Structure 1
Amino acid sequence: MTTTNPHTPPQDARTATIVTGPWPVYTQFKDLPERERWVMYSGAKAHREMLEQAGFVMSESYDDFVRRVTRELNV
């Protein structure tokens, strides 16, 4: 099952800028206290949402993004 970001407006694939990476890596924050790791996760989601609202389309699906960032932050 693929989940899309509910805050993202639909993009016209013919005109959208597609971001293919490299993606920010969050593993360097995995040893922070849990509360701070959740703050980093919230920030990563907010940054992605901002880019999507500006018209960028990510080649990494939202589900893959969430799985990767939660794994890297160990949350």
Structure 2
Amino acid sequence: MTSIPKPAQVLQQRTGATIISGPWPSYAGFRDLPERDRCVLYGSAKAYREALELQGLVMSESYDEFIKRVTAELEI
């Protein structure tokens, strides 16, 4: 009997929601910008994610994972 491997993370999908696999996009290329600019990008990243979620899209990366990744990539 062959068992089917279980996914590492089970995603809860809202009816009709599209799940976006991530992480996406990467902000690592901006880490050399001045801190003020990196902070503006951080705010933009959060606003962009919120806009996608308001349209019904679901990110595979949790919000906490997203924040941790973006702040690490921007070194803030």
Q: Same fold (TM over 0.5)?
A: yes
Q: Which of these two proteins has the greater Rg computed from alpha carbons?
A: 2
Asked which structure has the greater RCO (Cα within 8 Å, sep 6+), the reply is 1
Q: Indicate whether 1:42 and 2:43 are aligned.
A: yes
Aligned counterparts, 1:1-75, within 5 A: 13-75=14-76
> TM-score, normalized by length of structure 1?
0.80
> Structure 1: any 5+ residue segments left out of the alignment?
1-10
> TM-score, normalized by length of structure 2?
0.79
What is the percentage of aligned positions where both structures have the same residue?
60
Letter in 1 for 2:22: G
When the two structures are aligned, how many residues end up with a matched partner?
Answer: 65
Q: Which runs of 4+ in 1 moved over 6 A?
A: none
User: How far off is 1:12 after superposition?
Assistant: 6.0
User: How far off is 1:45 after superposition?
Assistant: 0.4
CA RMSD of the aligned region, Å?
Answer: 1.6
User: How far off is 1:13 after superposition?
Assistant: 1.9
